[in-house]
Amino acid sequence: MRRMRALDKTDPDDPRGFTQQANIHCAYCNGAHDQLGYPGLDLSVHYSWIFFPFHRWYLYFFERILGSLIDDPDFALPYWNWDNDTDNPRGMQFQAIFNNPNSPLYDSFRNQANVPPAVASLSLRNKATEPTQIISENLSIMYNKMIGGVNSATDFMGQPYRAGNQVPPMTDAGTVERGSHIAIHVWVGDPRQPYNEDLGNFYSAARDPVFYAHHSNVDRMWTIWQGIKTRYRKTITDPDYLNASFLFYDEKKRLVRVKAGDCTDNKALGYQYQKVETPWECYRLRKTVLPVMTKEIARGAPGPEKVFPVGLKETVRVVVVKLSKGNADDWLVLEDIQTDCTKLVKFDVFVNDEDDEPGEPDRPGYAGTYAQLPHRVYSSQIKGALKLGLKELYENIDVGDQESVVVTIVPRINGEVVTIGGVKIIPASR
């Protein structure tokens, strides 16, 4: 890293320099370029099925450049296993190697409150301060985003993004991208800066060296998910996905084009991840002891037609009709979500929670999260629909033969810039 940073001074135009490498993320992520052949349409590698392939290739060439600069072809990027609470030091703490002011791995634009012994919060709940509670929430979120809330390849990878499409809304992101990935960006970013720089904003994120260790763990989540046994097919065969291509400079300063379909197998690219424990795999949300009856907890909550569209200045609680009785394979859909893309935004969704304003995401009724990093697009306000799987959640809350459920939407960060057009339950389509 020291040699890469040295290039910033000796040859600022060298594509292998740290600043030039950091600018790659900004170029692909913040509306810097139009789609080829579609003037006025942003090109973005976030919030869709190309999120994982782009960042894998990005790390691949970054690692090769570092290895070349130190004449070590076997050099490997470390990953920050923020999903693991069992290591010493804990993976869920900021790693000391990045916190030495005299190291090239240091970045002054970080949240100074989130150094050890602080535990990283994947829920971003300011009210959660007890380490054991934060860890419990983190493990629940990891299970939800990797297993419980994933019922198809695009649930995990993200929704299709094709040439000529508008820039994807956050709701098209895969479960990990909009979950733990964004949470760590926000947790490390510096709240003293106007846009939560460095890690807390797309344009500046790669200026922090910890970005690469963070995204190495995000990439590791992709490899772990590929190995989890499921009933759904994980391979994406759509040519628009397989042939999506990106341009990077390699270790010899050559501009090369690579495709999403060529990076599915990390072993084929010449690397594997050191195996460590993944305690979240067995951390399914606890089931309710007794069924929660909708009529008993509704407490006069209205139907969606009387509430939406609504701004999210405060918690919203509505009764939503199910399409069928029992533990059906349903989606909860929050429609026409509109936010200010230049703001950090987060809200949580719960189903049949007894509290009027639920807190912890390690509750049986936790359905999912909307989380958005600040970024720039031509239109700062875009709409999307958030789909949350309910099949396993129905089992957790013992929904039984109830014909409706209570949906609670809790704003966490900047809810005042959020508008939601409606909420409904629909059959899941795969």
Cβ–Cβ under 8 Å, residues 122 and 137: yes
Q: Catalytic: 55?
A: yes
Return d(Cα 236, Cα 334) in angstroms, integer.
26
For residue 373, count other CB atoms closer than 10 A to its CB. Answer: 27
Question: Which burial class, exposed, middle or buried, applies to 230 when counting CB atoms under 10 A from its CB (0-12, 13-18, 19+)?
Answer: middle
**Which of 52, 62, 185, 347 is an active site residue?**
185
**Which of 156, 181, 211, 214 is an active site residue?**
181
Q: Catalytic: 202?
A: yes
- Residue 424, SS3 per DSSP: strand
Residue ranges of alpha helices (H) inside 144-264 are 153-157, 182-188, 210-227, 239-242
**Which of 25, 51, 54, 98 is an active site residue?**
25
**Which of 51, 98, 211, 215 is an active site residue?**
215
**Which of 18, 54, 62, 202 is an active site residue?**
202
DSSP state string for 284-340: PPPPPSS---HHHHHTTPPPGGGT-SEE-SS-EEEEEE-SSSSS--EEEEEEEEE--
Cβ–Cβ under 8 Å, residues 309 and 422: yes
Beta pairing class for 422-427 and 330-338: antiparallel
Using left for φ > 0, alpha for ψ between -120 and 50, and beta otherwise, residue 196 falls in left
- The secondary structure of 137-173, three-state, reads HHHHHHHHHHHHCCCCHHHHHECCCCCCCCCCCHHHE
Q: Catalytic: 214?
A: no
Measured between alpha carbons, how far is residue 23 from residues 104, 205, 206 in Å?
A: 17, 9, 7
Give me the phi and psi of 136, to 5 degrees please.
-60, -45
**Which of 18, 52, 55, 375 is an active site residue?**
55
Q: Catalytic: 33?
A: no
Q: How far apart are the first and last CA of the chain?
A: 44
By annotation, the residues acting in catalysis are 25, 46, 55, 181, 185, 202, 215
